[in-house]
């Protein structure tokens, strides 16, 4: 079952990243949430066992997080078919660090099988990773790291390299 959860967890993150990083034609971005924060898929797999993955965003406002939520929404539908319950939540504002920590603690208290977290603050969320480690809950961080050795992996862009590439492109455009 752990291997299945790991695979499903990876698929969830890949789906979120593809949707959040994709660009659609000339359409104007829809800044409204794709789904309501706190949405869940409530399912039971063929073996009768239900696994739960909790996704906790920095915030559910703003165009970037709306794109991420569309990816989560798609992943929720796909995971439901595999017998995985997926919940997601996030504070109203990315500066509400305490709310995000409380959401992580609530997910851990529910004995989720895995967490995907986009930390609003590396230090604050790093402390919350300790309770995940105590309960041996795998954690995948995305978009931002946390001050902790516990997360299973980090999925993010290399902002330094992106800055270099942007500078090179700007230099070429100015020539």
DSSP state of 94: T
Q: Rounded to an integer, what distance in angstroms lies between the CA atom of residue 27 and that of residue 50?
A: 38
Say what percent of the chain tops pLDDT 70: 70
Interval 93-100 mean pLDDT: 90
- Among residues 56, 110, 82, which one has the least CA distance to residue 1? 82
Q: Residue 14: in which H helix or E strand, if any? A: helix 2-21
**CATH numbers and ranges of domains, the chain:** 2-174 (3.40.50.2300)
**pLDDT tens digits, one per residue of 21-73:** 444 444 444 444 444 455 444 444 445 566 888 999 888 787 787 888 888 78
Q: Rounded to an integer, what distance in angstroms lies between the CA atom of residue 7 and that of residue 3?
A: 6
Q: pTM, whole model, 2 decimals?
A: 0.67
């Amino acid at each position: 079952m752990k291997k299945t959860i790991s695979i499903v967890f990876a698929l969830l993150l890949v789906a979120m990243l593809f949707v959040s990083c994709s660009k659609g034609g000339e359409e104007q971005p829809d800044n409204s949430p794709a789904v309501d924060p706190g949405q869940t898929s409530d399912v039971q797999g063929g073996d009768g066992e239900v696994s739960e993955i909790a996704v906790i965003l920095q915030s559910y406002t703003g165009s970037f997080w709306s794109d991420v939520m569309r990816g989560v929404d798609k992943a929720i539908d796909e995971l439901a078919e595999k017998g995985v319950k997926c919940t997601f939540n996030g504070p109203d504002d990315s500066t509400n660090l305490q709310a995000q920590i409380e959401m992580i603690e609530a997910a851990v208290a529910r004995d989720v099988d895995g967490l995907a977290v986009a930390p609003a603050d590396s230090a604050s969320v790093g402390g919350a990773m300790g309770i995940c480690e105590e309960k041996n809950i795998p954690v995948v961080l995305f978009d931002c790291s946390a001050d902790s050795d516990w997360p299973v992996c980090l999925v993010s862009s290399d902002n330094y390299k992106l800055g270099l590439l942007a500078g090179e492109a700007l230099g070429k455009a100015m020539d």
